[in-house]
Structure 1
Amino acid sequence: MSYWSTTPPRRAHILVIDDNIEELQLLLGALRGAGHRISLAFDALQGYRRVTALQPDLVLLDVRMGTTDGFTTCRLLKADSATARIPVIFLTSSSAVDERITGLREGAVDYILKPFDPAEVLARVAVHLALASSSTHAQQCMAQAESVLENARADNADRVIAQATERLVLSDLANVPALPELAARVGTHEKRLTRAFREQTGRTVYEFVREMRLAEAQRLLSSSALNMEEVAHAVGFSGAANFSTAFRERFGLTPSSYRNARAARPMPAQSA
């Protein structure tokens, strides 16, 4: 449907607020004939209460209705977040410019003078329903875009937290802080660090620390003369026994067997 189409996107619910409904029978018949559902209110405050309860798609509102005028109703509707989006069209017999300006300043989208041609009212109603529908769709799109942007920001913040944690862990594998202190040192709290790290890396902080310690242990066993106790302490294990158990669980052989296997491998042939 074109943005400027005057065909309402769906059957609309219109609330008519007027203290002299009898003179509107022709208009009401035309609105119903166009497929709209009509609700009625007979004074300004009753109209406000019915709008808040029924949440119509559009309001046709008389200006002069006894002690409380239509301006008051419009003002209340626009001040209420639950009804502020609903377009209000004033119907009035007054042609005074200052009155029309007042109505528009209170938030009405249009002003139609009595007596009016029902066809003109139908056309204006259709235009404002289409505009309201487009505005609602635009607001939904904006809300979705803001949600995507907010998620992207959150994801980026989580990525920074995870990367900072990795760097902090790798900077001193022998002295990795406990999780609460680790979280504080990367600018967050324990719960968020746990969630962010898992979502960004697919593993827990504990799993990452253990994997990095064992990888560094492999390197030391292959390239240094440190004994098992020294390797264990260098990578943050409390003792050789704990280190040996963890190493065997991860790689299927003890640290000593791994070192011996590496030492037994033939050296690559040197080029002539």
Structure 2
Amino acid sequence: MPAQESPHILVIEDSPQELRALQSLLRGEGYRVTLATDGRQGFQRAIALQPDLILLDVRMPVLDGFATCRLLKEAPRTQHIPVIFLSSAGAIEERLEGLTHGGVDYVLKPCHPDEVLARVRIHMRLGSRTRGPAAIEADAFLSHDEITLRAAVRLIREQLGALPSLEDIARKVGTHDKRLSAIFRQHMGTTVFAWIREERLRKGRELLMETSLGLQDIAESVGFRSACNFITAFRERMGVTPSQFRKASRGDALATNE
């Protein structure tokens, strides 16, 4: 198989000696293998090299595997690349977190090289290498800060009802709280907390219009401590109570359908 046509695998692992047998097997099968020893280096190499598949450890210094995967899935150049986690982090919560954040598979260490090879072959067949013009065009304008912002926005929306602290949000997207705050101010024109408040109210409006959930359930689902807090914030922002808003929106819907 010509070298330029050989499938390319990026291994992101802070203890690469643990995977020496796997690397040898992959190379013996004709795969090109590139190593990175922490998540930040791995993310940068994935952007530059665009491998066919990534094998990713979870517990690493600098940038852990979950944060790395979040960034990979927000970057147009890498969002299509299959990610297989190889990790000793075996708790069900950790395995689910890896799969939720974009991993296609999760293999526990110590792992048998032949099993990993079999999984690599499966996901190589399933994975698509096609990328549309829109993704390529977007690459030219998407900075690292913008990728971080996209990852933070997705994380906040997914966990709106029970958000972690700002420090944890920043850590989960590979940065620190002051830097994340600066990114929001630069690109969103507001603070992280102000954006979260607006997002909670936006989601609250959506639930008022599209569901029959009670105010307490809506308040909890968007991260307010109580229905009273939600009602107060909603009225301050919208000028009407949630119940008035729901009634008016349904009246508009009925009028539209008449």
TM-score range, shorter chain: 0.3 to 0.5
Larger radius of gyration: 1
TM-score, normalization by structure 2: 0.48
Structure 1 length-normalised TM: 0.46
